[in-house]
Structure 1
């Protein structure tokens, strides 16, 4: 019994360590450093975009949605990637209670969750992303999504988005 209590306490403390967002060490692999492994099952979330094509320097909306009402977003890390490199910038409204900007390579190239109450968890989260200027490539939005500190998925991707000059 004592062993199970220690494991439960370690999980709770480890999950709390990143309640204010992903650490910088997660920038490349997007693994949040929780004391448990990512889920192996298909994620109960989808990442969609408002357009499949965007002009360089213009904005699109990116949405993370749980497939069921119980599939809420507690934790999130997202980047638009050209290959393995985060590109473009996100814009977050100052009233957003769930996410904040993070710098991996450049200011605002990554979004992560911030400390919030469970009542602020959402089944759907929409973000605004601006494509880089002078850019002509394909990107995918890649996300790590946490249902809670012990249940999360890494590598949830959108369909490709073409950036045109």
Structure 2
């Protein structure tokens, strides 16, 4: 079975985004805070990501839990195939901790996939622009579904984030892989203890879809 590393990323926006991360966090997974990320080893922070099953069947689901010895304020979570956010997070509308956001990374940009450095730069800038545009549309007094306007038919709910800035010791969400994709996923996390202390894109657990 061909193994493809997919990224499960947790990114946090606190204070500036107390009700959760936004589409502007989709590409680089870095909280938009006015300080740099921590450089200390993530393994010594007391924060971790765990999964209830290391192997799931095609069409199955996995529960992913973010927890810590100390509280954290918020989070953002993705599962990626290379640089593309895939799969679906199943979170109830009345959930007390989490919500979903639509991230559009490379599903519609296959023409830009290239080893050419310039093409990669253009691809990155395009995806950042799409994220900012989606965020602006969501701020309108009349909600605009970015997916329906620009990417009709593309997957939705492929990013999970916090919906408040309350202290959290543990948050669990359910993730479902895309159907027919049998690969090994790598879990990556960015977690913020608060608005000034956060660790970016750390590799943690793995999930294999068989």
TM-score tier, shorter chain, comes to 0.7 to 0.9
CA distance in 2, matches of 1:124, 1:76: 11
CA distance in 2, matches of 1:87, 1:109: 6
SS of 1:123's equivalent in the other structure is: strand
* 1:95, distance to aligned residue in structure 2 (A): 3.4
Q: Which residue is 2:194 aligned to?
A: 148
In the alignment, is residue 137 of structure 1 matched against residue 183 of structure 2? yes
Aligned pair count reads 145
* 1:109, distance to aligned residue in structure 2 (A): 0.6
Q: Which residue is 1:52 aligned to?
A: 54
TM-score normalised to structure 1 length: 0.79
Q: Which residue is 1:162 aligned to?
A: 208
Give the ranges of 4+ consecutive aligned residues of structure 1 lying more than 6 Å apart after TM superposition. none
CA distance in 2, matches of 1:141, 1:90: 14
Q: Which protein has greater RCO, CA pairs closer than 8 Å, 6+ apart?
A: 2
* 1:104, distance to aligned residue in structure 2 (A): 0.5
* 1:42, distance to aligned residue in structure 2 (A): 2.2
In the alignment, is residue 127 of structure 1 matched against residue 126 of structure 2? no
CA distance in 1, matches of 2:15, 2:162: 13
Alignment of 1:17-32 (within 5 A): 17-32=16-31
Q: Which residue is 1:10 aligned to?
A: none
CA-to-aligned-CA distance 1:3-50 (integer Å, 9 cap, x gap): xxxxxxxxxxx9532112223121121001111111111232111111
| Equivalent pair of 2:72/2:169 in contact (CA under 8 Å) | yes
CA distance in 2, matches of 1:141, 1:152: 17
Distance 1:96 1:73, change over 3 A: farther
| Equivalent pair of 1:60/1:128 in contact (CA under 8 Å) | yes
Alignment of 1:112-123 (within 5 A): 112-116=161-165, 118=166, 121-123=167-169
| Equivalent pair of 1:81/1:87 in contact (CA under 8 Å) | yes
SS of 2:100's equivalent in the other structure is: strand
| Equivalent pair of 1:46/1:156 in contact (CA under 8 Å) | no
Mind listing any 5+ residue stretches in structure 1 that lack a counterpart? 1-13
CA distance in 2, matches of 1:139, 1:122: 25
Mind listing any 5+ residue stretches in structure 2 that lack a counterpart? 1-12, 105-154
Q: Which residue is 1:3 aligned to?
A: none
* 1:139, distance to aligned residue in structure 2 (A): 1.1
